[in-house]
Each structure stands twice: as structure tokens, then as C-alpha cells.
Amino acid sequence: MRYLHTMVRVADVERALDFYCNKMGMTEVRRSESEAGRFTLIFLAASDDVEAGRSRSAPLLELTYNWDPEEYGTGRNFGHLAYEVDDIYAFCQKLMDGGVTINRPPRDGRMAFVKSPDNISIEILQKGEAKAPAEPWSSMPNTGTW
């Protein structure tokens, strides 16, 4: 068995791509549209997985945009996506600078949570050992849900 991708539905392609590509740093590796099915599929790879995503079609995040409007709710029944980063503090700061709310700050130097524009929870994990606790993260409160 081999992991291929996780699919999440998005309500606004441009908003989703701004979040996942411009703020999270992912790369679009494939896109397809189905006139008959009235949907667009966009496959994204994390920065360390771009080559594997292109050559092996995995591991990827599939964004599904249904052309006919649909209400998706809060997305909590989905659970979350998880990504490992080299420096959780720098990554969270980059997200905050881009206007993303850090719902669960990395107080422990190990884990944080944010939400996509479509309310998908995303876990950010520190690669390797946890970083030493540091401000402003150590005293930053939770915001909303994740």
C-alpha cells in the first residue's frame, strides 16, 4: 500500500491557492477539469515532495472545486492535514504575516494548528526535536477551534 493523496473540497479556488501555495508554500503539480462532472481538481505538493508528487503522483493534497455552489460547513468531521516544517516558529510567523490566524500556537515548540479558508484544520509539526519554548508563542492563547 502507498499513500497517494488527501482530498478537500474548496469553495473558492483563488483563495484556496493563495492559502496553500502563497502562505503554506505548496506547489501545484497537476490540474484537471471535468466539464461533464462540473469540477476542477488541483493537486498540490509540499515543498519537500514536489519531485515525488510530479514523478510518482504522491504524496499530494487534492483540492476539489465543484462548479455548482455548495455549503461545506466547518470541516471538523474531516480531522486535519499535517505538515512537517524545518522551523515551526519561522513558519508560523510567515503565516501570521500573511494574515493567517494561528489557532493553536506552537507554545511547546513542536505543534501548531491553523485553518484553511474552507475551515480545514492543518497541523504544523516541527521537524526533528521540538524547539525550546520562546515568545511570543509561549504565552500566546488559543484562538477559535482547530
Mind listing the pLDDT tens digit for each residue in 3-59? 889 999 999 999 999 999 999 999 999 999 999 999 999 999 999 999 999 999 999
Sheet containing 111-115, strands listed edge to edge, beginning at the edge strand earlier in sequence = 80-85, 121-126, 111-115, 102-104
Query: How many residues belong to the chain?
Result: 146
Distance CA 111, CA 82 (A): 10
Cβ(39)–Cβ(64) below 8 Å: yes
pTM for the complete prediction? 0.81
Give the residue numbers annotated as catalytic, written as ranges. 123
- Residue-wise pLDDT for 66-111, tens only, equals 999 888 776 665 778 989 999 999 999 999 999 999 999 999 999 9
